[in-house]
Amino acid sequence: MDIALCGSCAIGVQHASRILRFVSHRTTKLLSALTVVLLVLATAAGAQATSLAPTVERQLSNERTSSFWAYPARVATIRAAPSVHARSVAQTQIVTEIGQPNVYLVLAEAQVPGDGGRWLKIRVPGRPNGRVGWVPRDALGPLRHVTTQIVVDRKTLTATLRDRGRTLLRVPVGVGAAATPTPVGHFWVREKLRFDQQPVYGTRALGTSAYAPTLTEWPAGGVVGLHGTDEPWLIPGRPSHGCVRIRNADMARLWERTPIGTPVLIR
């Protein structure tokens, strides 16, 4: 059965049809715009997830039987985390206070996702003692390996040299007086020095990364050294301004057997 519409009804149907087409068009545009927004948000979320992906850190040094160190390749910012956006801790220094090539003990390495690249975690010399930080891999030269460790015990007044955990040498020492204590912590040997006209230091010395709370006998002041002495009768004891004094014959033996980069534990 055919249904005939009046003129006014036909006009109404046509008007409704136009409204539906208009709404459909607007809905399609809205859905398209919403799709674009969702794609942008998904891309941003993916990028953020990549940037927040866990950084894999691998230990390199245990500071007892196997440790790595390196000379700096350039002046670089040392950061609190393996990222160019992390807070600055310090800067690498090419030479020490007395002009010797500087040395950094390398604790770990990390490969950062994305464009972060490879980073190295290092101990930082200077006050305050005990700082660590991260530098890009190219900020340091080739890694060098040592298996030695020196332990300075302020209670027993001894210094012990170990290689792969085996004791090679133990000698009596003089440490800082109560007013000028030898600092405790994890350090390393940065310098090996020989003297011709420095009787107060004997004939040999090992410069470390430790810094005394006050000035020490070290030429540049502040740095803690293990060195000989012209007052051997004060050893063992607590006669120094922070440095570790060792009788000259014992210092010569320690000096010969200790490579650069050797970790030093003062306790």
What's the domain range around 90?
56-145
Length of the chain: 267
* Residue ending a domain, choose from 118, 145, 172: 145
- Residue 160, token pair as written in the block: 């012990």
38 shares its domain with 66: no
157 shares its domain with 208: yes
106 shares its domain with 95: yes
Share of the chain above pLDDT 70, in %: 77
64 shares its domain with 139: yes
Q: What is the pLDDT of residue 214?
A: 76
Span 127-151, mean pLDDT?
97
**Residue 32 above 80 pLDDT?**
no
Q: What is the pLDDT of residue 213?
A: 82
DSSP character string of 70-135:
E-BSS--EEESSSSTTSPEEEE--SB-TTSPBP-EEEEEEEEETTTTEEEEEEE--SSSTT-EEEE
Q: What is the pLDDT of residue 215?
A: 72
65 shares its domain with 35: no
What dihedral do alpha carbons 230, 235, 239, 243 form, nearest 10°? Answer: 80
CATH number at residue 75: 2.30.30.40
| Residue 167 placed within a domain | yes
79 shares its domain with 121: yes
Q: What is the pLDDT of residue 29?
A: 55
- Bond prior to 236 in cis (omega within 30° of 0): yes
Question: What pTM was estimated for this model as a whole?
Answer: 0.78
Identify whether the C-beta of residue 201 lies closer than 8 Å to the C-beta of residue 228. Answer: yes
Question: What single letter denotes the amino acid at residue 127?
Answer: R
Q: What is the pLDDT of residue 48?
A: 45
- Residue 170, token pair as written in the block: 């133990």
| Residue 251 placed within a domain | yes
Say how many CA atoms lie within 13 Å of 88 toward its Cβ: 5
Q: What is the pLDDT of residue 1?
A: 43
Share of the chain above pLDDT 90, in %: 67
CATH number at residue 228: 2.40.440.10
| Residue 165 placed within a domain | yes
Question: What are the residues facing 193 on neighbouring strands?
Answer: 205
| Residue 250 placed within a domain | yes
At 194-248, the pLDDT tens digits run 988 778 889 999 999 999 887 766 666 689 999 999 999 999 999 999 999 999 9
> For tokens 């006669």, what's the residue?
239
Say how many CA atoms lie within 13 Å of 74 toward its Cβ: 7
> Residue 252 has what DSSP assignment?
H
| Residue 2 placed within a domain | no
Instruction: In whole angstroms, give the CA distance from residue 210 to residue 26.
Output: 72
Instruction: In whole angstroms, give the CA distance from residue 168 to residue 26.
Output: 85
Q: Could you tell me which residues come within 8 angstroms of residue 3 by beta carbon, excluding any fewer than 6 positions away? A: none
| Residue 218 placed within a domain | yes
**Residue 184 above 60 pLDDT?**
yes
30 shares its domain with 72: no
Q: What is the pLDDT of residue 114?
A: 73
Q: Are strands 132-136 and 117-123 parallel, antiparallel or unpaired?
A: antiparallel
User: What is the chain's mean pLDDT, rounded?
Assistant: 84
**Residue 40 above 50 pLDDT?**
no
**Residue 86 above 50 pLDDT?**
yes
246 shares its domain with 212: yes
| Residue 3 placed within a domain | no
170 shares its domain with 251: yes
Q: How many separate domains does the chain show?
A: 3
Residue 57 or 207, more confident: 207
Q: What is the pLDDT of residue 3?
A: 41
| Residue 127 placed within a domain | yes
Q: Phi/psi class of residue 227: alpha, beta or left (left: φ > 0; alpha: ψ in -120 to 50)?
A: beta
262 shares its domain with 155: yes
Question: What single letter denotes the amino acid at residue 212?
Answer: A
Confidence of residue 113 (pLDDT cuts 50, 70, 90): confident
105 shares its domain with 43: no
Span 180-185, mean pLDDT?
95
**Residue 254 above 70 pLDDT?**
yes
* Residue ending a domain, choose from 99, 116, 145: 145
Q: What is the pLDDT of residue 93?
A: 97
> Residue 194 has what DSSP assignment?
E
Identify whether the C-beta of residue 226 lies closer than 8 Å to the C-beta of residue 244. Answer: yes
* Residue ending a domain, choose from 116, 145, 174: 145
140 shares its domain with 205: no
> For tokens 């008007």, what's the residue?
15
Instruction: In whole angstroms, give the CA distance from residue 195 to residue 255.
Output: 12
**Residue 265 above 70 pLDDT?**
yes
